[in-house]
Amino acid sequence: MLVIEDFSCRYGKVAAVKGISLEVKKGELVSLIGANGAGKTSTLRALSGIAPISTGRIILDGVDITRATPRQILMKGMAHCPEGRRVFAHLTVKENLELGAHLRRDNAAILDDMKRMFHRFPILQERRHQPAGTLSGGEQQMLAIARALMSRPRIILFDEPSLGLAPTIIDTVFDLIAEIRKEGITVLLVEQNAFAALEMCDRAYLLEAGELKRQGTGRELMADPVVREAYLGG
Ligand code: ATP
């Protein structure tokens, strides 16, 4: 479904990603793990059209989207749930959800989806008229995920969804991502929590200093001595 070929990302003299190739098949949950600064966020941002692509090609459903705009990419069915959640703090919960659907024109279906979101996330319904900035970190993460779902994506890019959340909320967020995938949405998950990311994925890639160092099934990477030593605490 998503193919990345020889992709590099540079910011001036800084080479953040150095010629990586990876693939996410339809229905898969693929994890991209690696330390701080490995280039994971740059990769997701480039896929969404908001970070530079210096070399390489990005193919979504057989179509070259390397030069596509963020809007075109979202319209093609790829949504991004960004690092740090990035909800619109001054807008209400409901307005944030509406923005998730801003490229859709099927108004009746949007209303149905909104109802479904409120049913799925009762806390968001309860807080629907509150500014999103007043929500807790976990609630904001739910909102960011619900906002991404409002675009009716076929694939979602999750960037560090567990970052800065309390352990009990982290479990809820990972359960939700697993559920989303079961519903048939393809997932590319960036996580520093390597154990959780490897446990829940079909396949994974390890990125180190902008280069792919390992790839395989979650189980294979969990058994790999290099991964165990550096990312799973031995
Ligand atoms: P993190 O988990 O901290 O987000 P990451 O694996 O997602 O790390 P990136 O954020 O992609 O890594 O960063 C990769 C490299 O690119 C780092 O050296 C970083 O300092 C650099 N970098 C990222 N964004 C920019 C930018 N806008 N301008 C200049 N350098 C950048």
Give the CATH number, domain containing residue 132. Answer: 3.40.50.300
Query: In a mutational test of the pocket of ligand 1, which residue from 9, 11, 31 has the highest number of ligand atoms less than 8 Å from its CB?
Result: 11
- Ligand 1 centroid–CA 16 distance in Å is 6
Give every CB contact of residue 116 below 8 A, 6+ residues apart in sequence: none
Quote helix, strand, coil % in the chain, to nearest 5.
40, 25, 35
- Ligand 1 centroid–CA 11 distance in Å is 9
Residue 161 confidence class, pLDDT cut points 50, 70, 90: very high
Query: In a mutational test of the pocket of ligand 1, which residue from 42, 50, 54, 159 has the highest number of ligand atoms less than 8 Å from its CB?
Result: 42
- Ligand 1 centroid–CA 111 distance in Å is 37
Asked if pLDDT for residue 65 goes beyond 90, the answer is yes
Asked if pLDDT for residue 234 goes beyond 80, the answer is no
Residue listed under structure tokens 């693929």: 30
- Ligand 1 centroid–CA 31 distance in Å is 18
The pLDDT mean for the chain works out to 94
Q: State the pTM of this model.
A: 0.94
Which atom from ligand 1 is nearest to the alpha carbon of 38?
A: 6
pLDDT at 192: 87
> Around Cβ 112, how many Cβ atoms within 10 Å?
11
Q: Whose CA is nearest to atom 20 of ligand 1?
A: 37
pLDDT at 104: 85
Q: What is the CA radius of gyration of the chain?
A: 17
Residue 44 confidence class, pLDDT cut points 50, 70, 90: very high
Q: Which residues line ligand 1 (CB under 6 A)?
A: 11, 14, 16, 34, 36-42, 83, 192
Which atom from ligand 1 is nearest to the alpha carbon of 42?
A: 11
Domain total of the chain: 1
- Ligand 1 centroid–CA 54 distance in Å is 15
Range of the domain at 163: 2-231
pLDDT at 176: 93
pLDDT at 231: 87
Helix (H, G, I), strand (E, B) or coil at 23: strand
Share of the chain above pLDDT 70, in %: 100
- Ligand 1 centroid–CA 85 distance in Å is 17
